[in-house]
Chain A
């Protein structure tokens, strides 16, 4: 590990019995490459399937089978490297990583060891209070996934399905640049966003498309790095945070009790929220890497990379900067909107030709709030961008009040339809007719003579009248008109 690493600010230190501790975190994220077929075989890479149905004789490691690389997986790895602002290596080498396990029929995993396809890059994290953190990327390499063992079908037997065997993975290794569970969670979230924008990994953590190995060590501020433990295969962003919090505390307790940390692999148990030792020392792995003699070096030229770079979509950092510059949004709002590409596209459609800040408020507060409440994904939003735009137009032109607009949003959400027609047919239009408003005010005043008297002494009472008038008009009265007329009638200045 690099000793020239950043020091955590004071508020990110963990309190121990004997003083403060700094937690040092690095992540290895395994991301499944979005492709139709596997890395070295033409069997389907699709998730699921009947047992051993997406398996060719290559994936089952039958004698004499030879791997042939899927060029799309190479392109996806390069695209990802470009998205991580990383160096692309025009020549890389595939190695065999040797170990025995029933779900690894070859007896080795084809991976990249000394010469990966992608070198150093960087991912920027926007933390709360405007803090920006740069997390270095050490490397990205292509490798095969293993099959799946199922242990709960039989008391003494395991069932092996090779459907995942040979599916292309990108292992993305960060530098040990994170200093808190929140930073690690922000990193995985940002990485997932970038991969989804690029279309190189679907980021579906439930289906195992993204898994993280989390390296954690602790030290007293300013001291050399401590011994790290690796927590394997953490499969949700929330668990990444929990695993780090537990593991950092465990290591601090061990050291403060006079013990030492031994470098080991640990498992995170999501039910107990704890990590436990996984492999004993005498089983220490010796992978005996060597270049795969079945595969030539992977080579391509710079124009090949340049063409892929030219075709990249706008990435979240650039999109955010554009939203701030062109639409005048706050960095915070822009950050929320660019989290998912579909959400950003939705916002842009709503903002087109309208007040962008109003559009951002509606999308973030009303739409996202409603989507969260019902657990609906934005691609299935019952309110389309066009419908939301129409609602905003009705407010902007004074046809409906902001309050009625929220009711209208609710109607469109549950019933659909053209917002303008709904306003028309259900009489939701704002009442700007002074005669009608005056009538409502007169009625309220006549019914509450005591309050009228009070209001003359205490002008803030006017607010109570506004409320009553709005209530009497079903919220449809134009608030500005009500205010102006009320002041007049109550004799206030």
Chain B
């Protein structure tokens, strides 16, 4: 399966990754090769086989409904480029 350059740009846009023309061209080739490689798995007959979700059969760990975290707004915004009164501050986004 090969992808065209428009698809590469769309994927990049969805992932919010900036790519220039040269990169888009290069990525088009790389992604096509990767997809071809993954596509080989399609040759295996998996009819009736449940998707494997873990190597060892195990059940998902569950938590009791107890509040034991929070009250650390200083830590939460510590790495924010801009914050004010414990809010993250970002360029205006309104729909």
Chain A residues near B (Cβ < 8 Å): 35-37, 41-44, 50-58, 60, 68-74, 98, 100-102, 149-151, 154-162, 267, 278-279, 286, 288, 291, 295-299
Q: How far is the CA of A279 from the CA of B95 in the complex (A)?
A: 8
Name the distance in Å between A91's Cβ and chain B's nearest Cβ.
10
Q: Please tell me if B66 contacts chain A, counting CB pairs below 8 Å.
A: yes
In contact, A297 and B63 (Cβ under 8 angstroms): no
Question: Nearest CB to that of B74 among chain A residues?
Answer: A52
* Segment of B19-27, B31-39, B40-48, B52-60 in the binding face: B52-60
The residue from B61, B67, B94 contacting A158, defined by CB atoms under 8 A apart = B94
In contact, B73 and A53 (Cβ under 8 angstroms): yes
Q: How far is the CA of A48 from the CA of B16 in the complex (A)?
A: 31
Q: Please tell me if B71 contacts chain A, counting CB pairs below 8 Å.
A: yes
Set of chain A residues within 8 Å of B87, measured between Cβ atoms? 51-52, 150, 159-161
Set of chain B residues within 8 Å of A51, measured between Cβ atoms? 73, 85-87
Most buried by A among B68, B70, B75: B70
Set of chain A residues within 8 Å of B76, measured between Cβ atoms? 52, 55, 57, 60, 162
Most buried by B among A44, A51, A69, A291: A51
Most buried by A among B64, B87, B91, B95: B87
Top-3 shortest CB links A-B: A72-B65, A56-B69, A296-B60
In contact, A71 and B85 (Cβ under 8 angstroms): no
In contact, A50 and B67 (Cβ under 8 angstroms): no
Summed over the interface, the residue pairs from A and B with CB atoms below 8 Å come to a total of 128
Q: How far is the CA of A70 from the CA of B66 in the complex (A)?
A: 9
Set of chain A residues within 8 Å of B89, measured between Cβ atoms? 154, 157-160
Set of chain A residues within 8 Å of B77, measured between Cβ atoms? 52
Chain B residues near A (Cβ < 8 Å): 14, 16, 51, 53-54, 58-73, 75-77, 82, 84-95
Set of chain B residues within 8 Å of A37, measured between Cβ atoms? 63, 65-68
Set of chain A residues within 8 Å of B70, measured between Cβ atoms? 42-44, 53-56
Q: A60-B76, A160-B87 are in contact. Are A68 and B61 (CB under 8 A)?
A: yes
Q: A55-B73, A297-B53 are in contact. Are A50 and B86 (CB under 8 A)?
A: yes
In contact, B95 and A42 (Cβ under 8 angstroms): no
Name the distance in Å between A154's Cβ and chain B's nearest Cβ.
7
Set of chain A residues within 8 Å of B95, measured between Cβ atoms? 267, 278-279
In contact, A288 and B66 (Cβ under 8 angstroms): no
In contact, B60 and A295 (Cβ under 8 angstroms): yes
Set of chain A residues within 8 Å of B84, measured between Cβ atoms? 159
Q: A51-B85, A298-B60 are in contact. Are A286 and B14 (CB under 8 A)?
A: yes
Set of chain A residues within 8 Å of B68, measured between Cβ atoms? 37, 42
The residue from A42, A151, A278, A296 contacting B92, defined by CB atoms under 8 A apart = A151
In contact, A71 and B63 (Cβ under 8 angstroms): yes
Set of chain B residues within 8 Å of A157, measured between Cβ atoms? 82, 89-92
Set of chain B residues within 8 Å of A71, measured between Cβ atoms? 62-65
Question: Nearest CB to that of A52 among chain B residues?
Answer: B73
Q: How far is the CA of A296 from the CA of B57 in the complex (A)?
A: 10
In contact, A102 and B62 (Cβ under 8 angstroms): no
Set of chain B residues within 8 Å of A57, measured between Cβ atoms? 69, 72, 75-76
Q: Pick 13 A–B contacts, CB within 8 A, sort by A.
A: A42-B66, A42-B69, A43-B70, A51-B87, A55-B70, A55-B72, A55-B73, A69-B61, A69-B63, A72-B64, A159-B84, A162-B76, A278-B95
Q: How far is the CA of A69 from the CA of B61 in the complex (A)?
A: 7
Most buried by B among A37, A73, A295: A37
The residue from A36, A70, A278 contacting B62, defined by CB atoms under 8 A apart = A70
Name the distance in Å between A424's Cβ and chain B's nearest Cβ.
52
Name the distance in Å between B91's Cβ and chain A's nearest Cβ.
7
Q: How far is the CA of A35 from the CA of B63 in the complex (A)?
A: 12
Set of chain B residues within 8 Å of A41, measured between Cβ atoms? 69
Name the distance in Å between A36's Cβ and chain B's nearest Cβ.
5
Set of chain B residues within 8 Å of A286, measured between Cβ atoms? 14
In contact, A151 and B63 (Cβ under 8 angstroms): no
Q: How far is the CA of A298 from the CA of B72 in the complex (A)?
A: 30
Name the distance in Å between A262's Cβ and chain B's nearest Cβ.
18
Name the distance in Å between B18's Cβ and chain A's nearest Cβ.
13
